[in-house]
Amino acid sequence: MFIIRKPFSNRALNYLGLLFTLGVITSMYMRKVLPAKYFYDDNRMRGKFDSEYWDLFQSDINTIAVYDLLGFSQFSSPILIGFFGIFVGFLSFRLALTRSPMAKLDLPAILFFGMCFALLVIFYGQLSKEVVLTILTTCCFLLAKNRKGVVLGLLMLCLYATFFRIYWYLVISVTIANLFFLSGRMRMRNFVLLVITLLLTMSFVFYQTQGFYLSEIRNTMNQASIGSPDVITIILNLLPTSNIFLDVLNGLISALRFKFPVELVLLGNIKYLAFIAFQLWLTSVVFRSTKIYFSTEQNMGLRFKFSLSIIIAYWLIQGFFEPDFGTALRHQFPLLPFFIYLFCCNRVLAPYDKN
């Protein structure tokens, strides 16, 4: 547990309530304002209601199965579905705040929370696979008070990987390695060797079973999008992928490009400047959390270690398959409770950073 533990202020929770109200109102007019490309997944999944549900590794039909289980159908109002998604995001946000050691709502917090919630409204105010994952990641966040809770949370994510996105098995594996390292049970050299071995094994197995390298999925997905005005933030491998070593290197390079998206400046659009600023802010939160962890004498607690571990693990694996910058941002949004928690911890522990 933290040596310093301050309850979050009512002012902050009232601000979150205001963001929720504005978000719901905004979602009612979202389809009239945003381009159609923002609702591609929503439109595609609506046609899959009444399909045969619960097939392995089928994220679309299993997402629809969850919505169907909750009483939604293809005829449900987009506004009602959007309200549900935003409410899930709001609840996740609030649960993270009320468990965060920060009491002051200052300007950085207002801006950070506001930017998070604005994107949450866009991503969650429609049929969304991220809404389902957010329910599980929020449960993982709440359970991460002790080792049994962490194990239970990881098992829940294994269930998600089985029915939705198989790459989450890799995220879980790296998360466990990160936890061992942060807990002092593994030296840096052994940790790096373990992660690299895991990535090389992943690349080898994928090539042997699928006939092509993992990072080539991105290039295949993007071939049809090259030149399209709707997809101008695609990312392609910088190196030719001819063996597992180059495959892993491409994945690591892409992971860094996603977290430092300065190349989007060349597009010359103000919305991409906002994207760059927000992603760099997220990256700085994780970087600062890592720095504080290794330089302060504060007892950080298991929830802090787990939050840092799962974000870094996801970012690492994300570099192998994301087709573009926008999709990468959307896919990492279910980690929101962990980002919020680390942001708040940073605000409290910065004065205790030795460096």
> What pLDDT is stored for residue 260 in this prediction?
93
Residue 184 gets the label, from left (phi > 0), alpha (psi -120 to 50) or beta, of left
Give the integer Cα–Cα distance in Å for 46 and 291: 44
Q: What is the mean pLDDT of residues 294-317?
A: 87
Query: Which band of pLDDT confidence, cut at 50, 70 and 90, is reported for residue 4?
Result: very low
- Give the dihedral sign, CA 318/333/345/260: positive
Give the integer Cα–Cα distance in Å for 327 and 17: 27
Give the integer Cα–Cα distance in Å for 6 and 231: 44
Our measurement of the distance from residue 275's CA atom to the centroid of its chain's CA atoms, rounded to an integer in Å, reads 15
pLDDT tens, position by position, 22-68: 988 988 888 888 888 788 888 888 777 776 667 777 888 888 888 88
Give the integer Cα–Cα distance in Å for 36 and 55: 29
Q: pLDDT at residue 75 above 80?
A: no
Give the integer Cα–Cα distance in Å for 287 and 281: 10
Query: Which band of pLDDT confidence, cut at 50, 70 and 90, is reported for residue 3?
Result: very low
> What pLDDT is stored for residue 293 in this prediction?
83
pLDDT tens, position by position, 276-292: 999 999 999 999 998 88
Given a contact cutoff of 8 angstroms between Cβ atoms, the answer to whether 302 and 148 are in contact is: no
Among 63, 182, 60, 37, smallest CA distance to 134 is for 63
> What pLDDT is stored for residue 89 in this prediction?
94
pLDDT tens, position by position, 89-133: 999 999 998 888 765 788 888 999 999 999 999 999 998 999 999
Q: What is the mean pLDDT of residues 75-80?
A: 81
Amino acid identity, position 286: V
Given a contact cutoff of 8 angstroms between Cβ atoms, the answer to whether 216 and 237 are in contact is: yes
Among 182, 263, 269, 199, smallest CA distance to 229 is for 269
> What pLDDT is stored for residue 284 in this prediction?
94
> What pLDDT is stored for residue 339 in this prediction?
96
Q: pLDDT at residue 269 above 50?
A: yes
pLDDT tens, position by position, 205-259: 888 888 888 888 777 776 656 656 656 778 888 888 889 999 999 999 999 999 9
Compute the residue count for the chain: 355
Given a contact cutoff of 8 angstroms between Cβ atoms, the answer to whether 93 and 340 are in contact is: yes
> What pLDDT is stored for residue 55 in this prediction?
75
Q: What does the H/E/C string look like for the chain?
A: CCCCCCCCCHHHHHHHHHHHHHHHHHHHHHHHHCCHHHHHHHHHHHCCCCCCCCCCCCHHHHHHHHHHHCCCCCCCCHHHHHHHHHHHHHHHHHHHHCCCCCCCCCHHHHHHHHHHHHHHHHHHCCCCHHHHHHHHHHHHHHHCCCHHHHHHHHHHHHHHHHHCCCCHHHHHHHHHHHHHHHCCCCCHHHHHHHHHHHHHHHHHHHHHHHCCCCCHHHHHHHCCCCCCCCCCCECCCCCCCCCHHHHHHHHHHHHHHHHCCHHHHHHCCHHHHHHHHHHHHHHHHHHHHHHHHHHCCCCCCHHHHHHHHHHHHHHHHHCCCCCEHHHHHHHCHHHHHHHHHHHHHHHHHHHHCCC
In terms of pLDDT, which residue wins out, 52 or 191? 191
pLDDT tens, position by position, 159-190: 999 999 888 999 999 999 999 888 877 788 88
